[in-house]
Structure 1
């Protein structure tokens, strides 16, 4: 079964066409030729953008010369109500300082330490599923991913009162604010409105207020010597090795906002699509379930079992290819450049699109097909190195990438271990905060003849 993707735009027009299209849906606003093009230039009035699918250009922008292509200020403006000046949107010395403080919290040894929290949240997610009936996967996976974040970041489950409020507010904010809107992709003049609705500003302020409460409570426990050794404590007590300074409370609010967005919204999106893909491909679903039965020991949830979930990992990686949570990344040319013998002026928007790169017809074998076995082929291994960037790449690669590749396959395996999924209406992908289903991602669920249950 070929996984669905949105129809591509066939319309032509000027700036108003693009603004209307981007506000409606990013993925269907762009033309079908981008699935074959190495580069595309968009220029209409003040618009001057370059979308790059050439792996050499992608490497140049993300890996080889990242300082020449900083994060676009338009992206920061688009996300400022929620993220402030978080590590996701800053550049230069400010970004370097933030990463020096944040990166130690996500080192390899920390994954082993927080694995019990990931395991507990994953087991809780599997137990919460109804035994039978039709469900929308998006609320289920959002709840599960939020539970992981709260347990690992603040040592509280999703049932905690403040955690539940943050989760609810994020659900409202997702509907109010797309991650890449017209202001992010189009270099509009300074006077042009940035499309922040009153609802967007209100939900963002509510979320940030709740996060500020959590940060203040944790700061008090750190001062009293009673704080748990979790990610929040690690980040709040880590000094910049160059200056000795730690994050201020407002800076920590910015960082927690992006941790929640990157670790909750993106994981929820990826897991929902992975579950739907398995519902649509029962042969792979049966293989993942059999692997989970064979490898997962509820009485001994050791970190080492993560390396045994090879099929689940391949499925999750394929879901990230077909439905990358962040469909496009926007950079800005800091100086004049030349791309494929074409002049790129200073200030031009450079768009790197995992959505198109991951389905590029000249790079991938069977680009629109679901094939977790591709990662063992020569083409799959080559494309994984050159044309696969679900977590970005280079210096700005997501610090939580390793975290996601533990959480996703584990949760996938624990759910499929005891539950069987079947498709209903095929979902239509749209770009909101992450790639989601336009009307949800729905499946039918039923019990898989269990020979045990997830417990600790």
Structure 2
């Protein structure tokens, strides 16, 4: 089965056309030759970028010399109203301090402690989907977003999505997503910070979300002081000191990080799960295998996770074909030579999981849906060198282990309860904050007997 993908741009493009297309959808703005190129240069006006697809270049930028390729402020600027200066945006000493605390908060055993939250959220989602499983065509993205947000709030603050403040954050985030362009035009063009203008709707929804998160942080701080706080992720983050200076996150920093965890965990989790469900709706054989595995092995015990091999292979394949963060951008701090090209200081170094995961010189059947590839020699090799759904190196997503438990578990629970049938029209991938369907991801659900 060859799932849908957008048509890449053919031929050359002017900088203004590129910027225009880039603001609406990153993928359709990219050249179709990126599925074959090891390194591609784009230059026009103030935009000078290099898309790096060769595994050696990806390794150099993300793992080998990350200090020479920090996160690009041009790309991060659009998220500043919501995320402040969180670990998703920051660089250098600020990022190092944030990451030290986060790494300790995600210490070994944290995913196991969050398993009951994932299980309870999955059961709540099945109850909601029971009301929709009539065989009619529906957009599954709102439900996967609801489910992923429920997991985040249960794991962070030990509250379900039905909690008053949690529900308001979720609804406000949907408004923010609708208003937020993929990039800030002023930042993309290299304008100074004071000249970058954010849409009024973006600023308004970001203020609303941050105000609600601050209420949750303030309430948790009071419970920590009173000695009655639950031992969840929020408590761990707020009480973990930086091992170098002994200072924990301030409340303002906690607002930044909670907003980041909600964006990273809710948006990416919802995207990956929705695409996985769609892929199974188009592949009845794999869907039946996941359902049989769920009936035999799914249980409200953390130990069941290691037995969900089929569900995990499907989820991993969904992350390959539809990586939630389809592109990330670093900035070159020094002039250098890469593959015979001069890379100037300040150049934008684009790492594209979308193209790397589908590179025609690396993968067998690169655009096809084939969960069995992970047992092949090609799949095993590419998983090591050309598979980065959670990035890599120092800035690898701290929730990667969490996601690889959550995703297969939720996928198994839903497919074990419902049969999925494909939509009349396949979804069209589009890159907004994450990789979503342009008009949603539609499919049909029927209750399994």
**Which band: TM-score by shorter chain?**
over 0.9
Following superposition of structure 1 onto structure 2, how do residues 432-451 of structure 1 map, counting pairs within 5 Å? Answer: 432-449=432-449
* Partner Cα separation in structure 2 for residue 82 and residue 366 of structure 1: 39
Following superposition of structure 1 onto structure 2, how do residues 12-27 of structure 1 map, counting pairs within 5 Å? Answer: 12-27=12-27
Contact 1:75/1:89, CA 8 A, preserved across alignment: no
Match of 1:263 in 2: 265
Following superposition of structure 1 onto structure 2, how do residues 33-48 of structure 1 map, counting pairs within 5 Å? Answer: 33-48=33-48
Following superposition of structure 1 onto structure 2, how do residues 319-398 of structure 1 map, counting pairs within 5 Å? Answer: 319-398=318-397
Residue deviations 1:192-223 (CA, integer Å, cap 9, x gap): 95462111111111111111111111111111
Q: 1:182, CA displacement in angstroms?
A: 4.8
Match of 1:285 among 284, 287, 310: 287
Match of 2:302 in 1: 303
* Partner Cα separation in structure 1 for residue 196 and residue 390 of structure 2: 26
Structure 1 SS opposite 2:109 = helix
Following superposition of structure 1 onto structure 2, how do residues 81-96 of structure 1 map, counting pairs within 5 Å? Answer: 81-96=81-96
**Residue 317 in structure 1 maps to residue 320 in structure 2:** no
Structure 2 SS opposite 1:443 = strand
Match of 1:69 in 2: 69
Q: 1:12, CA displacement in angstroms?
A: 3.5
Match of 2:164 among 136, 161, 164: 161
Residue deviations 1:292-347 (CA, integer Å, cap 9, x gap): 000013xxx11110000000000000000000000111100011121101110111
Match of 1:222 among 221, 224, 237: 224
- Normalization by structure 2: what TM-score? 0.97
How large is the Cα RMSD of the aligned pairs? 1.3
Match of 2:192 in 1: 190
* Partner Cα separation in structure 2 for residue 353 and residue 155 of structure 1: 35
Q: 1:226, CA displacement in angstroms?
A: 1.0
* Partner Cα separation in structure 2 for residue 82 and residue 342 of structure 1: 37
Following superposition of structure 1 onto structure 2, how do residues 80-159 of structure 1 map, counting pairs within 5 Å? Answer: 80-129=80-129, 130-132=132-134, 133-159=136-162
* Partner Cα separation in structure 1 for residue 201 and residue 19 of structure 2: 19
Contact 1:39/1:51, CA 8 A, preserved across alignment: yes
Q: 1:224, CA displacement in angstroms?
A: 0.9
Contact 2:39/2:50, CA 8 A, preserved across alignment: yes
* Partner Cα separation in structure 2 for residue 213 and residue 10 of structure 1: 49
Q: 1:59, CA displacement in angstroms?
A: 0.1
1:155/1:7 CA distance change after superposition, 3 Å: same
Structure 2 SS opposite 1:108 = coil
1:139/1:188 CA distance change after superposition, 3 Å: same
The answer to which of 232-241 and 44-53 deviates more is: 44-53
Residue deviations 1:102-159 (CA, integer Å, cap 9, x gap): 1122223111112111111111112210221222110000000000000000000000
Count of residues in correspondence between the two structures: 445
Match of 1:454 in 2: none
* Partner Cα separation in structure 1 for residue 287 and residue 206 of structure 2: 38
Match of 1:430 in 2: 430
* Partner Cα separation in structure 2 for residue 288 and residue 447 of structure 1: 15
Contact 1:75/1:183, CA 8 A, preserved across alignment: no
